[in-house]
Each structure stands twice: as C-alpha cells, then as structure tokens.
A = this chain, B = another copy of it.
C-alpha cells in the first residue's frame, strides 16, 4: 500500500538475546518476515514451512531448549551473529537480511546499542522472552526496566526517519514492552514530543481485553485502567490522535479529555483485508 520510500518501521530490540550462542532479534525478524511475505501464519512467529531438526537434536544434548528456533530461522541468526561478531552494526545486518529477502521498506532497529527489557515479577526478575515464552506470561509483574537504555543512542537512520516523517503511527502494540523500550532510547521520546505533525496511537485494548499478548494483564498488574483510556494515558504528549475500536466508543470523551483527537473504527485485524482497511483509515484521517 505504501511504497518502500513511504514507510519506515522503527522496531523494538529490547527483547534481543543470545539463544544457543546466537543473537536473536524477535521483533526485527517478525517485521522482516511479515514484509517479505514469508512469515509463518499458523505459528504466529518465525518462517513458513519451518522444521525444528537442529533444536530437537540440541535437546538430545541436554540443552534446555525452551526458546524454539526453526532450521530456516537459524540461518538468520547464524548470519546475524557472525556479522555482529565481525563488527557490523545491527542496523547494517538488518538492512542486508531485508535486502536478501526482497524487502525494500526500511526496517530500523531503534538503536544499535544493547538494551534489555527486564521484568521484576513476584517470581523474580526475568527478561521478556523468559516471561513470555518460558513462563507463559504467568508471573505477576511489579515493574519494568530497560537495562542499558541510558547508554544507547538513536541511530542516524532513525533520527533521519523521525525528522523526515509526515505521520507517526504507534502500532497497536504492547505499550510497556514493545513501544516503551523504543521510547527509552535517549533522544527518541524528545524528538517525538516536538514533532508537529499527526501522531496517531492505535489502542491494543478492545473491550477491556488485549487483542493478543499480555497487554491487559500488564496494565492491571501495573495499576492502570485495563482499557483504551489506560493505554492513551501512556501516550499523552506523544500522540495527538488516538484510534479506538467501535466497541469502546463510550470511552471517546474520556480520551479526548486527555487532549487527543479520538477516532473510532474497527481495529481488530483478523484478515489481510482488515489490516488493509485499518491502514487505509489511518492514511485517510491523517490526510
């Protein structure tokens, strides 16, 4: 819908980690595989037509292989790890991988530095992937930190993208573990706060429930309203426009009172048609 020079995706890298010695970038890969049209729709992550022979064998060697990586996916991580170890930046590796997969849109890691989402829970401190995959989002969250973010810097590519943008969209992502880590990179939040154009947030909460993932659970445990209002409050000063689902039309005024223009549409994306429709709606209201 948008040409490669019309869309730039800035991606969270705070869930990057080394698994089996390999540098894995879960969010960057999901965005890349999706834009390349090779993502695994059934699994909801990873590559289509995937197999897991290497991981099965690693388990036979006694490795606690709780983080599942497919045989095709492993090539991405082998490639990335080797390039990083040779001194390339994550941005450079990302660009090279995307190019090989035929993705022309810019996919930019928020930073080339090391940043890590750490959740303090009632069961101890853990990374997001440990919380999400290993512990199936069960631990109760007390607080969230982004280790290393004060030492990170925004990349020249992200800086340029923000300076050049006409429209900023906060995807309907988890505000605490997907968007906040990006905003924690010094410089990014300040640049967005001074952005004079339209900055649109899309609520990931519909009818008091997260469309997917632990966003609702996190809102509750961190003491916020489990609603689009609770999400909108996270984006005050960053978004001047907010999109909520038809089911939440009753919350419109409460969010407007936060100083945002509020639009109401269908936000639940089940089909490609739904996705396209929401994207068109966003472009329409931003025109």
Contacts and interface: CB of A to CB of B under 8 A. Distances in A.
Interface residues of A, number: 26
A64 interface: no
Nearest to A83: B21
Given A21-B85, A85-B21, A58 B78 contact: yes
A177 to B, nearest CB: 27
B61 A75 contact: yes
Which secondary structure characterizes the binding site on chain A? helix
A71 interface: yes
Interface in A65-87: 71-72, 74-76, 78-79, 81-82, 85
A151 interface: no
Nearest to A58: B75
Contact of A53 (B21, B55, B72, B76): B72
Interface-central residue, A54, A55, A60, by most chain B CB under 10 Å: A54
B85 A57 contact: no
Nearest to A79: B61
Copies in the complex: 2
A21 B57 CA distance: 19
Given A21-B81, A21-B82, A82-B21, A75 B100 contact: no
A72 B54 contact: yes
A85 B85 CA distance: 13
A120 to B, nearest CB: 27
Given A61-B97, A97-B61, A100-B61, A54 B75 contact: yes
A51 interface: yes
Contact of A75 (B57, B72, B76): B57
Contacts of A76: 57, 61
A41 interface: no
Contacts of A96: 61-62
Interface string A228-251: 000000000000000000000000
7 contacts: A21-B85, A22-B78, A53-B72, A57-B72, A57-B75, A57-B76, A58-B78
